[in-house]
Amino acid sequence: MNNLIVKLLLVSNDYVVDSMLSEIFSNKNFEIDIFNTFSESQLKLKTKEYALIIVNDDMLSDDSLFKFVLENSSFYPVIIISDKDDDIFIEKYFRIGVSDYFLKPLNLSLFWNKVKKILDDNTLREKSKEESKLLGELMHQHKVEESIAYYVYKHMIGEENRPDFLNSYTLSADSFSGDIQLHSQGPSGSHYILLADATGHGLAAAISVFPLASIFKSMISKGQSAEMVLEELNSKLGDYIPPDRFISAILIEIDLYRRELKVWNGAMPTVLIYSEKMEKVAEIASENMALGILDEKDFNSELEIIELPKKGLLFMYSDGLTEQCNCSGEEFGEDRVFNKIRHSEVKSLVEDVMEENNEFRGNESVHDDISICVVDFNKI
């Protein structure tokens, strides 16, 4: 108990007990209000906050006492002092929330120690209630702020109509995704697809992809080359995001005029290219560091160029897919992905892989953002 004045309410018609209690509480920072009847005390209860109610009234009917305890025990600790030594009677009052029950004659030392414990417990309970309320308010405030951030996020990233040949999916580990898939068509007609995975997940990761989205869209719309886009992204991300953060990315350019497929892979899982018979015909492993790490002079923006396949597909994904664990701690792994590609149709491939991944995950949470992107060459 602290040094503030603790207010007690005593309902009593026993002058001996009144004087004893007045005595023990007189020098210990207590203020005690004594009433001889319930009606008087109830009036007072409406206007004043008490730390404890003590009822010492053997003249009261059981019904009145029961009703009084029932009404007040949820708000105040209530102690009964009585002559009635009846287990069933006592148990009934404990069931409706009485904090303690003392038989007369009172053992004052025991009474004082128990009262002190009840008041201390109640102080802790009140403090915990206050903290819960504060936590609730903070959670609410967090939700409001998150919804504002989400609105900005969705509008900055922007949703657009994807071309038919592109099928993609992202599963976020949090409200916000640190994975992003962007598509843009340049003035020359070339299609550009960016799959990026920012360090971590959630809002902190999502914030890192904001500049990436606006730089990518603006530069592609102005007809800048993929190499220039990559250099600008690397340079700006190096400036904008914290030094221990970076963005792994794959940039694909589909050059319809030259019939070329250009791929840049920076710290992402290998990009896979399959024939229409679902045989792996090419793969582009990560040969570069993620964006936002290297200086301009060390950064390599060269894309790997292959002839644009007429049929088959390109499959790319973020590492959240293969690193997702099941309840035994086993990772989903690449083999399940390869196997699914071999035995699926292009149009349902993304759904099939995600379905298997979800089944594998079971009740485990999504550990990291998962993205899959499939380019169907037949539809280009």
Partner 1 sequence: MDNVNIISLPDKFDFSFHKEFTRRYDDSILNTDVAEIVLDFSRVNYLDSSALGMMVLLYRKAQACNKRVSVKNVSGKTAEILKMANFQKLYAFE
Hey, how many other C-beta atoms are within 10 angstroms of the C-beta on 134? Answer: 10
- Out of 290, 291, 349, 373, the residue judged to bind partner 1 by CB under 8 A: 290
Stretch near partner 1 under the rule CB under 8 A, chosen from 62-70, 71-79, 263-271, 275-283: 263-271
Interface residues for partner 1 in 224-243 (CB under 8 A)?
Answer: 243
- For residue 199, the minimal CB distance to partner 1 (Å) is 5
- Residue 286 interacts with partner 1 (CB under 8 A)? yes
- Measured from the CB atom, the residue of 185 and 300 that comes closer to partner 1 is 300
Separation CA 279–CA 292 (nearest Å): 35
- Measured from the CB atom, the residue of 281 and 285 that comes closer to partner 1 is 285
- Residue 245 interacts with partner 1 (CB under 8 A)? yes
Draw the binding track, 3-42, toward partner 1 (x: CB under 8 A; -: no contact).
----------------------------------------
- Out of 269, 332, 370, 380, the residue judged to bind partner 1 by CB under 8 A: 269
3-class secondary structure per residue, the chain:
CCCCCEEEEEEECCHHHHHHHHHHHHCCCEEEEEECCHHHHHHHHHHCCCCEEEEECCCCCHHHHHHHHHHHCCCCCEEEEECCCCHHHHHHHHHCCCCEEEECCCCHHHHHHHHHHHHHHHHHHHHHHHHHHHHHHHHHHHHHHHHHHHHHHHHHHCCCCCCCCEEEEEECCCCCCCEEEEEEECCCCCEEEEEEEECCCCHHHHHHHHHHHHHHHHHHHCCCCHHHHHHHHHHHHHHHCCCCCCEEEEEEEEECCCCEEEEEEECCCCEEEECCCCCEEEEECCCECCECCCCCCCCCCCCEEEECCCCCEEEEECCHHHHCECCCCCECHHHHHHHHHHCCCHHHHHHHHHHHHHHHHCCCCCCCCEEEEEEEHHHC
- Measured from the CB atom, the residue of 124 and 285 that comes closer to partner 1 is 285
- For residue 299, the minimal CB distance to partner 1 (Å) is 10
- For residue 297, the minimal CB distance to partner 1 (Å) is 12
Q: How far is CA 290 from the centre of its chain?
A: 27
Stretch near partner 1 under the rule CB under 8 A, chosen from 112-120, 153-161, 250-258, 267-275: 267-275
- Measured from the CB atom, the residue of 97 and 200 that comes closer to partner 1 is 200
- Residue 288 interacts with partner 1 (CB under 8 A)? yes
Stretch near partner 1 under the rule CB under 8 A, chosen from 6-14, 264-272, 302-310, 336-344: 264-272
- For residue 326, the minimal CB distance to partner 1 (Å) is 16
Number of residues that bind partner 1 (CB under 8 A): 21
- For residue 270, the minimal CB distance to partner 1 (Å) is 8
Interface residues for partner 1 in 197-216 (CB under 8 A)?
Answer: 199-200
- Measured from the CB atom, the residue of 161 and 328 that comes closer to partner 1 is 328
- Residue 285 interacts with partner 1 (CB under 8 A)? yes
- Residue 168 interacts with partner 1 (CB under 8 A)? no
- Measured from the CB atom, the residue of 123 and 199 that comes closer to partner 1 is 199
Q: How many CA atoms lie within 13 A of 60 on its CB side?
A: 25
- Out of 278, 282, 289, 354, the residue judged to bind partner 1 by CB under 8 A: 289
CB contact set of 120 (below 8 Å; sequence gap of 6+): 1
Residues that bind partner 1 (CB under 8 A): 199-200, 243-246, 248, 266-269, 285-290, 293-294, 298, 319
